[in-house]
């Protein structure tokens, strides 16, 4: 009887409360600048894509989206980078990742092609621009050309060269910035992994929100490591 009572008490013991992770917000390319260092779901159309230096760079469509880019470092095994760039160009996509400010622009950096989802078919091509033919200008009158030839040439006055403040003479070191970004990503990933560990320890099925947040955090750490190798050289 004592053993049964102990078993009943163990079953009745309440589980510890779980931390609820809010899903990332869905933003447009124009709204991304207001979410620096936040994990978001970016929904935008892709105007162009290119593959260079081992990276796929996607440029969103629209006014105000020029300062935002999506950077993907594809894995060694999988679709080649040039095919990935062509795959997303002209489509509307949803991208899960963290918005970063880098080299005067904003970017979402990822190492997982599955984080970029195509959500529509390719849009129709834009209509051709109207072509206008300008009429040939009328020749100037002879008197005007004679007067212009008689006038002496005016030498433009040279403007003084702009002075650069001493504090702005040294550009920021991209290698140091990449290392700082990696340290920030690693610090942000630790609490996400702890939440996932608590959810798994409670033996609650799914843990979808915790898994999504932890996966995004680890992707940022991996992306930071790739950026260090790119900015600081291999073996850094």
In a domain, 6, yes or no: no
pLDDT of residue 20: 62
Give dist(CA 121, CA 114) in Å, integer: 17
Examine the pLDDT at 23 and tell me if it is beyond 80.
Answer: yes
- Has residue 1 been placed in a domain? no
Tell which wins on pLDDT, 103 or 170.
Answer: 103
Mean pLDDT, the chain, integer: 75
In a domain, 30, yes or no: yes
Q: Measuring CA to CA, which residue among 63, 64, 52, 116 is closest to residue 89?
A: 116
Provide the residue range defining the domain that includes 213: 26-122+173-232
pLDDT value at 130 more than 60: no
Is residue 183 scored above 50 in pLDDT? yes
The string of pLDDT tens digits covering residues 56-104 is: 999 998 877 888 999 998 887 788 888 989 999 999 999 999 999 887 8
CATH number, domain containing residue 84: 2.40.50.140
Total domains present in the chain? 1
CA distance 115 to 215: 10
Q: What value does the mean pLDDT take over residues 130-143?
A: 56
pTM over 0.75: no
Position 36 pLDDT exceeds 80: yes
Q: How many C-beta atoms surround the C-beta of residue 230 within 10 A?
A: 17
Is 8 among the domain residues?
A: no
């Amino acid at each position: 009887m004592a053993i049964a009572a102990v078993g009943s008490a163990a079953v009745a013991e309440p589980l510890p409360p779980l931390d609820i992770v809010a899903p990332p917000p869905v933003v447009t390319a124009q709204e991304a600048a207001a979410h620096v260092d936040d994990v978001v779901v970016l929904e935008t159309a892709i105007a162009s894509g290119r593959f260079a230096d081992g990276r796929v760079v996607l440029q969103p469509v629209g006014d105000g989206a020029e300062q935002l880019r999506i950077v993907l470092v594809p894995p060694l095994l999988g679709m080649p980078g040039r095919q990935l760039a062509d795959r997303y160009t002209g489509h509307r996509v949803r991208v899960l990742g963290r918005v970063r400010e880098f080299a005067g622009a904003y970017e979402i950096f990822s190492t997982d092609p599955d984080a970029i989802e195509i959500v529509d078919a390719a849009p129709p091509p834009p209509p051709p621009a109207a072509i206008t033919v300008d009429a040939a200008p009328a020749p100037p009158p002879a008197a005007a050309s004679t007067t212009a030839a008689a006038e002496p040439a005016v030498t433009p006055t040279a403007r003084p060269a702009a002075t650069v403040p001493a504090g702005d003479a040294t550009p920021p070191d991209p290698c140091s910035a990449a290392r700082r970004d990696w340290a920030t990503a690693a610090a942000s990933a630790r609490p996400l992994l702890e939440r996932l560990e608590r959810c798994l320890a409670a033996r609650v099925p799914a843990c979808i929100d915790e898994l999504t947040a932890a996966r995004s955090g680890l992707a940022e750490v991996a992306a930071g490591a790739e950026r260090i190798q790119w900015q600081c050289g291999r073996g850094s």
